[in-house]
Structures are given as C-alpha cells and as structure tokens.
Structure 1
C-alpha cells in the first residue's frame, strides 16, 4: 500500500488559504462543478415545492404521505417523505463520507496543522448557532430544535457561488468545501446521538455486522456493484429498523472506502465510486428530497410568526449571525493561536464573505426540523419556513459581499490561471522549474 506524499515543509508555519497543489485544485474544480449544478437543481426543486404546496396543498400532502414499499419485518412500507428523508439523504451522506475520508488521507485534513482551521471553523460554526437558538428559546419550551441552524448546505452555497462568485480563488472554494464536509460529519453525529430513539440492538448489531462484511470485501479487493448494492441496501434497512437514523449507514459506508491510490492506479476505489455516485446525489437525491420536504404553506400570518415566535426566530438568527460569526470567528481564532498564516494575497473580508455562505442551511436543516418537531407538524412547518427565510437572507447577504470583493477575486484568479506558454499547466505551478524558466525567459524573484 503506497503512502501519501508528505506535506510540504512549513518552517514558519502553514500558510492558510495558500495555493492548492495542481491535483487538489483539479479535484476541487470537478467536485464543485457537480455540486454547483446540484445547487441549482436544489433551488428549483424548493421553488416548485413551495408553489405546489401553496397552490394545491392537498395534492402535495397526499404525495408526500403516500406509502410505498413492502411490509416486511424491517417495516419498509414507508411514506415517500420518509423514503426521501431516510433513503435519498443516505446517498447524500454516503458521498459526504467519501469526501471526508479523502480529506483525511489526501486533502486539507491530512495533517493536524492543516485540519485545525476548517475543523475549528466548523465546530464554532455549529456551536454558536446552537447557543443563539437556545438563548432565544430559553423560556419557549422548544429547545429540541437547537440543532436546526447548525448545518451548512454545500450544494446550495455553491449554487450561489456559481452565479456571483465565478472569480473566487480555488483555495477559498476548497475551504468552503472542506468546512462543509466537516460540518456534515458533525451533523450526522448530532442526528445519531440526539435524534435517534428506541434503539433495537438486534437490528443495530446486524447492521454493524453488515458494515464489517462491507469493509472485509472491499479490503480484499472484491469487485461488483451487484454485490455491494444489495449489501448496502440491507445495511441501510437494518440501520433504519434499529432506530438510529438511517443516514448514519450512508456516511459509515463512505468512510470505509479506500481513498488513497496504490501503485498503478489512476483513481482509488473511493474516488471512482464518488465520481459515479456524486451526480446521483447532487442531481437526483437531494433535489427530490427538497421537493418532498420544502413544501411549506406560506401566508402573511405564517411569515409574521417566523419573525415573532421564538423557535423560528432562533433558527433565522442562528443561521444569519451564528453561522457567519461562528465560522469567521473560529477561523480567526485558529489563525491567531496556531502557526497558520493567512495568504497575504487575501483579506479577512474575503473570508467573511465566504463565511456568510455557511449560513445557507437547507438540506440537513430541513431534515432536523422534521426530526426535532416530529410530534408537532405546525411547529415543524414554521421551522422549515424559518430555514427557507434564513437561507435566503444569508444567500442575499453573501451575494452582496462577494460582489463587493469580486474585482479583487478576479485579479487573483487571473494570476492563478495565467498560462503564458499554453502548455495546459498554469505558470504558478512551474515557476521553480529551470526548464520552464529557460523556455519562457522567466526569472524568479530574488528572495527577500
């Protein structure tokens, strides 16, 4: 098993948001391209759901509540809404698990110094919204919704970037992606620990046994989708029956996959499977989930309740202020008290604009809204409305901030993409190559 290349030496400390390596930049670009399309589809699905639920509410509810599936000992006769919550989002978290594994073995999280910044930013971006929600709801009796404003929707956030942030430097995009991956891990832990109940240990034990078999077959190099796909479904069904939220099975299987390359491989198994499954997640699973989850009846009085009642107000303030300040403040603290240094080409205003995007909490926030208030449908709908309003406000604020910084971004991206000799490799990755210097006549800048 080949080891990963050692990280670049950092005698003075790691440069925060410095230039990515070319392979990492290529991976980030490919991943963001798919997520960007997914974000646009997600937005369209949410709009369709809102129109459908408000124009023909009875029809929307009948579709969401329609039951399909076999009545087996595993109780798989579920409503379409439950299939979307527990099934389709398991695909989303499966991809998140692969992303997280890859970040740990080959990406920004492979060394403690590199992992500190996005991890601290993600943790602070989860903790502060929860604290704000709890403070707003201290006397309301609705403290169970504390986790709703803690999630970041990477697909929605990147959809915003596709429209207004085309000149965002790749390092900032990578930071947002890494932040969201860690955020997803925290979200699944929250769901597993705080929103699972009535654990049936026989089903949980069998599901864990299935995960062990999944790991063993993968470790032995056994191939064949016809083997892994039924096994994955059985693991998911048993996890669902156990009372632990079924999306945990998705992230667990993603973490099992090998994401480093051995000799002669062009792609690791994890990279290959992610390449195949990511379009299914971003282009189908998440948009269909949004279609079946975002249908909230909106009226003047309902919108007024979003801003006057404690639970929805805590969600909005948590998303807008908690996520933005938490992510930005956590990043600043990590940079202040570790050896990491901000790339001198960037400004903290750039990072604040990106941190605002973290307040777009859509997919997982809608899921937690249903889990937190499953016994109070009216309150769950108000929480969903608050998620939609808060995400829209954050998207608007981020759009304004990124537009203000776009000229600065454009200069950075033009420098990053410059390829004066038209060889397909940006000049910044060749400046230390004597052959390239001789061919182009470039002379490196003297050391300071």
Structure 2
C-alpha cells in the first residue's frame, strides 16, 4: 500500500474492463506447480496483447516486413504465399494456398472474436444502453455510408467499382494505438467513444461482406452450414460450457460454408453471435468457490476436475473465449494477415500507375474525407439535436480528431481488397490507396490533436469539476439547493477515505443544512481488490433507498469487504436480498461506477480521497478545519447563517 500524501493515497485510478483483466487466468488446477518462467511469459504476452501502442507497432512491423520481402529480387514473397497446402480425409481433400489459408481460415478466428465482442456489447455492454449508444451508432452509420458514396462518385463504373467496401471499415487496433501516441492526455472518454463506434462499424462491415461479396451459392452446402448453426444452438441448449464441443462443430460449419460460396469467415461471426453471454450467477460462483476450497483441503484428481468444471461454468463461454482469443488475434493472426496481404511491389511504374488511378484516389478520399466528415458531422448533428448526449469530458473537437484517425482502414480494408478485386494490378493499386489513406489519416489526426492542445493550453491537471452535481444522479447528503457543496471521490477500501469520514462528519455538523455533501466512486482496484464490488453493493443499496446507510457501514468496515460480508451488511440494513443479489450478479450499476471512474481519470485525480469545494478541486490537506475554511470562502453565507454560527460558538465557549 502506498503511503499517504498531501491529497490522499497517490494511486493512479484504473477504469475496469470485463474483457481485459489485469492478471491473466492461471492454468488448470490439475497441472501441478506452475513453472514460474512459463507463467511470466504468459503474463508478458497477455499484457503485450492488451497494450494498444505495442500491438499497433507489431502490426506495423509485419506490414513493413511484407513490403520489404515483396520487393526483394527473386519473387520469393509471391512464391511462398501461393504454396499449396491441402488437408485430405479419405477421398475428400481441401486444398488452398497459404495466403487463402490465412485469409479464409485464420481470419475466421479473427471475425469470431469480433462477433464475440459485438454480441457482448449488444447484450450487456455499451451498446445495450441507448443513451450511451446513440451518438456512436449514428456516427458509425455516417462513417460507413459517406466513404462509400465518395468512392462511388469517383469510381461509378469500371473494374474497380466493386471495391467500394474497402473504404467502409476502420482498423480499431491501429486507431487506438495511434490515439495513445498522439491523442490528448485525458482521452478516456474519447477512447470509449471510438471503441463503441468501432463495434457499430464492425457490424456494418460484416453485413457488407455477407450481402455484397458473395457471388454464387451452393444450396446443399449452405444447408449443411445451417445444420451446423443448429448444432451450435443444441449445444447451447444443453448448456455445454467447454469450448472444445463448439470448436469441433465450428470447424465442420466453416468447411460447409466455404463449399457453399459464402465467405467462410462469416461462419466465425455467426457462431460467435449464437454463443451465450450472461453475467456470472451467484449460485454458480459460490459453487465454484466451494469446489476450489475442497480441492485445496484435499488435492486429488477428482476434486481437480470438479473445481475446473465449476470455474468454467461460472462464466459465460463468450467472455472466456474473448480472453482466450485476444492474445492469439493480436499477436499471431492479425500480424500474419498483414504479412500475407501487405506485400506490394513498389516499383516506380507501380506507384505511378497507382497514383494515376481513380481507384487509389477513391480509396484515399473515402477513408480520409468520408470518415472525418461522416463521423464528425453525424456526432455534431446528434449533439445539436440532443444537447447533453455527449458524456462529460468528451468534446466535439476531440471527436473530430478521433474521426480523422478513423480513416486508418487496414485489416478489414485489405481483406475486402482480396474479395472485391481479382486483377493483381488493381489489387496493388487498392493496397497503395489503403496505405496512403492510413498514413494521411494518422498525420491528420495528430495535427488536429496538436491544434486542440494549443488552443486549450494544456498546462496541467484540470481543477474544475468535470461533471456538475445532478440531484437526479448524484448521492447527496443535505439540501440539494444548499449554498455550500463538498464533493468527494472515494474508495470504500481506502483507509484514508475511511479516516476522512470523521473530518466530513465535523464539517457537516458545522454547516448543518447549509451543506450538501456529494459522494462519487473512485475504486482503485489494483490496490484494493474489493473496492469495485463494494461500490456496486452501495449502488444496489441505493436502488432500495439506502445508499448512505450502506456507505457508512462500508467505511466502518473498510477492511471487511468480501462478498459474503457485503451481503451481511445488506441483510443488516433489511434490504431485499433477492433484488440485491440480482443487481450484483448482473452488474446492473457497473456503468454508473465506471462513469465516475472515467470522470476521475479524465480529471487526472491522483488518488483517494479527492475533494472538490463547489466546482474547484481542493489541493493539499483535507482535515476538517481546512475543509471548513475552504467551504466558507467558496460562497457567500445564507442570510442569518453567520450570526447563528457565532451564537452557537459563543454558547459552546
């Protein structure tokens, strides 16, 4: 635990993510003592895959290697990727060259992971909340349509007209990587906006691939494909939780879809959308804990298997597969795809032909101009029609910078080049267009963010309150219209926050009804593993009108916040335990807590507790006398308040 400083526990807040745990899951319980070297390697690769700048750098390195290799004498690049590789089973054989094994085979796993993320976001994620989703969805739709319109305006006819799909999609990994390098320091809200935008963008791109890049249909093979999807539903109905069964059926379905004429990568998407996603159920979690405890007390093969099955069934297969596939996608499949598809022979005549082609310039204009104008214009239109639809900390200038970066279309753009064009010359021109557009978009985004920083004169952390106090949203003790306002960002497991409650009690006694005290969440999970769950418990109590009672109990027992202890506090307060359990199981209030977390990160709050006097950040000590003095200076006292306090002080003396 860090030592306290002038303004609290100096720990950087972290926005939680259900799909990016800070510590990777260890191996199965029956593998025996783990090899520390292998565990360190696993953790290192896991963290690397979730580091956006590093993942983007790996993708860029694979692209550069492909370009260098393709331009070496001897033509080894083309020879290698056109090497045939077949799989035979009796009289049946499936033979593809290496490039198509990557594009049609491995990329099915990439699109499978995309489908898993889409399903989760639609079911229990950001796109499940209409108020959060409206701006990114409209921005994504405009960012899909306008680039295609611009491309077709320049390529209305001719052999390249079918490549309009190249300009519709954004490469999320590249965009987030570049955003981390050139974006504003306080970019948490912008990053969440781009991620929601990317999900809607991916849905549109997948539908375009399905409906516009399928040439002929083999009905018997398509029937077998539908049967495969039906088997996936049967496995789901039977509550099969292990990935192996889905994998076997999935491979057969992929083969059938390949033979049907529909692009086989879409099998991965459909299977992902069919898999179940749900919040962990309390009974299943408790059962897994009991099984793990039994194995710990009596380690044997029978208990090992039972504990492993219990842990597996407690979490939906969707979320487990997201965790499993993310490192494979980020570190293997996407870089390998770039290596197989980014190799363009950059001779002078090739470049001259590309930059003299309307196909190339249609792609550049579609990605650079279409994405920027479409996304930024739609966001501006929605926010004008619905004031307040942007969350605090996210501004239209930031969205303009993010919209410019969204012109980096790489992975899916190159993927569609291979689907839309058969002429190698046109394919090279399209790839040059994608590379050029991505470079221009990255530079343009950097320039916009530099201009934003210059205008705002970003000289240090913001001192003004980011989100104004809202009686409909905030937890307020005291009169909502009281003249003095004290806002705390706190952590129920933080010992300094629990000590600060004594100071706040003195402040409230001093000001009485003239003070409104507001509490917001800043759980520092890396140092306080129970803090986020405690915040959810307080919100579950708030749902039943007992936030402050739970608030006081949690701070009184800040060292006893295990799930069963939290539930005992709910029982002590007389809460409806069934409703309380359901709120925690579904993480119904995670969005509310995460909103406070993102606000804190955007405001660069260094640790907990953090205080605002009115709408201005308090820097330095937070003892009762300091808080009283700062509050007294923050607003004129109400009529008669000064005399009343003087009378009270004289009577006490």
TM-score scaled by structure 2? 0.59
Equivalent residue, structure 2, for 1:39: 56
User: How far apart are 1:86 and its partner, in Å?
Assistant: 1.1
Of 422-431 and 318-327, more deviation after overlay is shown by 422-431
Equivalent residue, structure 1, for 2:318: 270
Pair 1:191-2:200 in alignment: no
2-side partners of 1:163 and 1:189: how far apart? 32
Q: How does 1:349-388 map to 2 (within 5 A)?
A: 349-374=397-422, 376-388=423-435
Q: How does 1:26-425 map to 2 (within 5 A)?
A: 26-27=17-18, 33=50, 35-56=52-73, 58-70=75-87, 76-138=94-156, 140-165=158-183, 167-264=185-282, 265=285, 267-338=315-386, 340-374=388-422, 376-405=423-452, 408=458, 411=461, 423=494
User: How far apart are 1:166 and its partner, in Å?
Assistant: 7.2
1:395 is paired with a residue whose SS is helix
1-side partners of 2:610 and 2:155: how far apart? 65
User: How far apart are 1:151 and its partner, in Å?
Assistant: 0.9
2-side partners of 1:429 and 1:214: how far apart? 41
Greater fraction of residues in strand: 2
User: How far apart are 1:205 and its partner, in Å?
Assistant: 1.4
Of 192-201 and 432-441, more deviation after overlay is shown by 432-441
Pair 1:429-2:521 in alignment: yes
Select the structure with the greater relative contact order (CA < 8 A; seq sep ≥ 6). Answer: 1
Cα pair distance change 1:441/1:222, threshold 3 Å:
closer
Rg bigger for which structure? 2
Cα pair distance change 1:440/1:51, threshold 3 Å:
closer
- Is 1:362–1:391's contact at 8 Å kept on the other side of the alignment? yes
- Is 2:59–2:334's contact at 8 Å kept on the other side of the alignment? yes
Cα-Cα RMSD: 3.4
1:341 is paired with a residue whose SS is coil
Of 362-371 and 28-37, more deviation after overlay is shown by 28-37
Cα pair distance change 1:342/1:56, threshold 3 Å:
same
1-side partners of 2:16 and 2:169: how far apart? 25
2:71 is paired with a residue whose SS is helix
Cα pair distance change 1:55/1:145, threshold 3 Å:
same
Deviations 1:367-387 (A, max 9, x none): 11111112x111011101111
Gaps of 5+ in 2: 1-12, 22-46, 286-313, 467-487, 498-518, 524-546, 557-607, 616-634, 636-653
Once superposed, which parts of structure 1, at least 4 consecutive aligned residues long, lie more than 6 Å away?
Answer: 412-416, 418-422, 424-427, 436-439
Deviations 1:139-174 (A, max 9, x none): 545211111111101111122123333734322111
Gaps of 5+ in 1: 1-21
TM-score scaled by structure 1? 0.85
Greater fraction of residues in helix: 1
Of 282-291 and 177-186, more deviation after overlay is shown by 177-186
User: How far apart are 1:430 and its partner, in Å?
Assistant: 4.8
Cα pair distance change 1:28/1:225, threshold 3 Å:
closer
Of 128-137 and 29-38, more deviation after overlay is shown by 29-38
2-side partners of 1:188 and 1:241: how far apart? 19
